[in-house]
Amino acid sequence: MFTADQLVAHAVGDYLLQSEWMAVEKTKRSLPALIHCLFYLIPFLFITQNPATLAVIGGTHFVIDRWHLARYVAWLKNRPWPGSSSWSECKATGFHPDTPPWLSAWLVIIVDNVMHVVINGLAIAYIGT
C-alpha cells in the first residue's frame, strides 16, 4: 500500500515544488493552495494517471492545507487527557499554549505529513493506478 515511490512523490511535491509564497499564503487564500496542489500532483503523475486517484490526492491535499486541518487533528488527539485545553487556547498551533513553538510547529508538520501519506497510499492502493 505504501511505497517508496509514493513517499518520494509526496516529499518532492510538498517540499521541493512548493515555493515560499505557496507555503505562506495557502492557509490564507484558495488560489495559492490550488496552485500548490497542482504542483504537488506533478510527481504523482509518475505513479498514476488515474483521474480518480489524482482527484482524491489533489482534492484532499487542497482541503488539508487550505484549512490547516493538521491543527485540528493535533488538538483532537490531545482532548481526552487531563488538563487538555479548549480550541480557543490552541487554535494557532493545535497544541497547548505552553508547548514550545518549535515543538508545536514540528508536531503539526508531522501530523500533516502523516495525513497526506496515509490518504495518498489508500487512494493509490484502493482506487488504483
Which cell goes with 101?
513553538
Q: What is the pTM of this model?
A: 0.90
Q: What is the pLDDT of residue 129?
A: 85
Q: What is the pLDDT of residue 80?
A: 64
Domain boundary assignment for the chain: 4-126
CB burial of residue 92 (10 Å; 0-12, 13-18, 19+): exposed
Q: Is 71 helix (H, G, I), strand (E, B) or coil?
A: helix
Close Cβ partners of 30 (under 8 Å, ≥ 6 residues apart) = 66
Contact 41/58 with Cβ under 8 angstroms? yes
Which of 59-68, 89-98, 106-115 has the lowest average pLDDT?
89-98
How far, in Å, CA of 30 to CA of 102, rounded? 27
Residue type, 29: R
With a pLDDT cut of 90, the percent of the chain lying above it is 72
**Residue 65: count of CB within 10 angstroms of its CB:** 25
> Sorting pLDDT into bands at 50, 70 and 90, what band is 126?
very high
Question: Using one digit for the tens of pLDDT, what is the confidence trace for 37-81?
Answer: 999 999 999 999 999 999 999 999 999 999 999 988 988 887 767
